[in-house]
Amino acid sequence: GAVVSQHPSWVICKSGTSVKIECRSLDFQATTMFWYRQFPKQSLMLMATSNEGSKATYEQGVEKDKFLINHASLTLSTLTVTSAHPEDSSFYICSAPPQGLSGANVLTFGAGSRLTVL
């Protein structure tokens, strides 16, 4: 089945530093990946759509310069939280549609990355 690997699962960093989160599709190609943010006991909010070979599409209110997204290959998308601050602490989840495998609009989710900014 389609598997999305997300790394790291947990990261702690100091305020002002940058953190990179990777999302890999292990057994399928993904021209599109989605990045979500989830605060404790809240829903998943779509941050941006990552597009292979082109610029990401950001949702309204999401700072492009703060959350840098790179989709350099058909199996890898990265989210970099730049100059992280405590308010950026959250759970970040990526997902990808396994097009060509199931033939249906079913997203596969990574296990998520918990970011804590001190």
Which residues here bind another protein, judged by CB under 8 A? 32, 34, 38, 41-46, 49, 91, 93, 95, 97, 104-107, 109, 111-112, 114
Q: Is the Cβ–Cβ distance between 109 and 24 less than 8 Å? A: no
Distance CA 21, CA 69 (A): 10
Residue number with CB closer to another protein (44 or 82): 44
Q: How far is the CB of 24 from another protein (least distance, A)?
A: 16
Shortest gap between Cβ of 11 and another protein (angstroms)?
Answer: 14
- Whether 25 and 34 have beta carbons less than 8 Å apart is answered as no
Q: For another protein, give the closer residue by CB, 49 or 82.
A: 49
Residues forming beta bridges with residue 38, ordered by sequence position = 44, 91
| Least spacing, CB of residue 114 vs another protein, in Å | 8
Report the residue number, 11 or 44, with the smaller CB distance to another protein: 44
| Cα dihedral value 21, 8, 17, 39, nearest 10 | 80
Residue 43 or 87 having the CB closest to another protein: 43
Shortest distance in whole angstroms from residue 107 CB to another protein: 6
Q: In whole angstroms, give the CA distance from residue 108 to residue 25.
A: 9
Number of Cβ within a 10 Å radius of residue 41: 5
